[in-house]
Amino acid sequence: MRVRSFLKVMGTIGMFFVLTGCTPSTPGIGIPGENTQTTKSPEGIRWMLQSFGYTKQAVPTGAYLFLDGGRFDAYNGCNHIGGHYRLGKEKLRLDPETSTLVACLDHGLSDRVGRELAAVRFYRIDEQGRLLLYPHKGSTPTLIFRAQ
């Protein structure tokens, strides 16, 4: 009898979410075709590395960047990197402070991610909702991320 009551309650809760049209609370995340231009800040989103600039070179599997509350967490495909960041209008500076020290067998791809992150000075979120990171204003992006 308790199982049947539990299932009724869970079904009622599920119908509530369906009928109220609940959607993800972060704009630009999880809804295919949604206009991601509304996401102005890169904070609070897990950004997955998509490419080294506009090249077709392979990127490390699972590499990401997460910015929140002045601290960042990144994974370069082999090691975790953490530290502080400063964010302004179009400006972003990552100050790496810690890193794990696992020996990486990825032909230097993970090292490149770390170097490129440390060189970042500017960012932009493009019309496709991608995070583009630049070492200099007016240069081409060195890292391109997509929202997870």
- Domains with residue ranges and CATH for the chain: 41-147 (2.40.128.270)
Burial of residue 15 (CB within 10 Å: 0-12, 13-18, 19+) is exposed
* pLDDT higher than 60, residue 140: yes
The answer, as to whether pTM is greater than 0.85, is no
For residue 74, list its beta bridge partners: 65, 81
Tens of pLDDT, residue by residue over 42-97, are 999 999 999 999 999 999 999 999 999 999 999 999 999 999 999 999 999 999 99
Tokens 């959607």, located at residue: 23
